[in-house]
Amino acid sequence: MKQFILYNPLAGNGTAKEVAEGFAAASSAEAFLFPVTEITDYAAFLAQITPEDTLTVCGGDGTLNHFVNDTADLEIPCEVYYLAIGSGNDFLRDIGKTPDGNPVSITKYIQNLPVTEVKGKTYRFLNNVGYGIDGYCCEVGDELKAKSVKCINYTSIAIKGLLFHYKPKNAVITVDGKEYRFKKVWLAPTMKGRFYGGGMMATPAQDRLAEDGKLSVLVFHGSGRLHTLMVFPSIFKGEHIKHDKIVTVLSGYDVKVSYDAPAAVQVDGETILDVTEYTATAKATVKAEV
């Protein structure tokens, strides 16, 4: 048996290589390390792996997003594990695990993933796709990263956006053919899991392993800046859904979110600029024991 270890050199504030090397040294199997930034042909990479081997991905939610998209049309011959060293760790949080330095099997979680289409391009997603203050935070965060190596405080960006900078949009949201119209939309993510944004429990009832594979759409809408800022912190405990006059949760298989002005969309934290609509499509899954 061989241990293949993929790591994102940028994850964990640049500590990913060190963590991966430590994990490899502690492995009882022969270990091979590969930075994901240098793999250009995943078909060739996977061809060297047998069913008896293991594959471990080291990084954060963004690393996982790139992995599931880079391997979308390929058969992975062995069990896949995840060693979380990211900052948000929403995927790990959603499956009831904590970043304790031990890899967890994720094979069942990366099968039959939903897809989103944004600006004519299709992506698979693990946690969510969405626009609103979340996309705005990713956009501003990317701009700050380009100027400095300091850690980005997304909570601070969100608060400043809610108070001053972000302008909510009007949206038309279609779920399984039924159309809903909302004014002053602050958030409109489509969720595969419950968590995103570094611990926000956007859709508390969402089950990523549900047999029907349905997605949940959170719509935070119709409120002014101060009211939104007062309610917003409750999203970290999933208690925002009690505010049903300004929070709506929809559920279905096919989702289309259209809005009246371009804005940034994020797919598992990866930013896409100047978007006016996105679609998301669920895929049925087989319930597995957690």
3-state secondary structure 99-112: CCCCCEECHHHCCC
Q: How confident is the model at residue 99 (pLDDT cuts 50, 70, 90)?
A: confident
Q: What are the C-alpha distances in Å from 68 to residues 61, 62, 106, 184? A: 11, 10, 11, 33
Domain with CATH 3.40.50.10330 in the chain: 2-109
pLDDT one-digit tens code per residue, 161-174: 888 999 999 999 99
Cα(121)–Cα(144) distance, integer angstroms: 26
- Answer for the pair 278, 125: CB distance below 8 angstroms, yes or no: no
> By percentage, how much of the chain surpasses pLDDT 70?
97
At 284 the pLDDT is 63
CATH 2.60.200.40 fits 115-281, yes or no: yes
Residue 288 has pLDDT above 70, yes or no: no
Using alpha carbons, select from 273, 163, 168, 280 the residue that is nearest to residue 225.
Answer: 163
pLDDT one-digit tens code per residue, 37-46: 999 999 999 9
pLDDT one-digit tens code per residue, 25-60: 988 889 999 999 999 999 999 999 999 999 999 999
Please state the CATH superfamily assignment of the domain spanning residues 2-109 in this structure. Probable inorganic polyphosphate/atp-NAD kinase; domain 1 (3.40.50.10330)
At 285 the pLDDT is 56
Cα(166)–Cα(154) distance, integer angstroms: 14
pTM above 0.85, yes or no: yes
The DSSP secondary structure of 33-67, one letter per residue, reads EEEGGG---HHHHHHT--TTSEEEEEE-HHHHHHH
Residue 258 has pLDDT above 50, yes or no: yes
Domain with CATH 2.60.200.40 in the chain: 115-281
Q: Average pLDDT in the 10-19 region?
A: 86
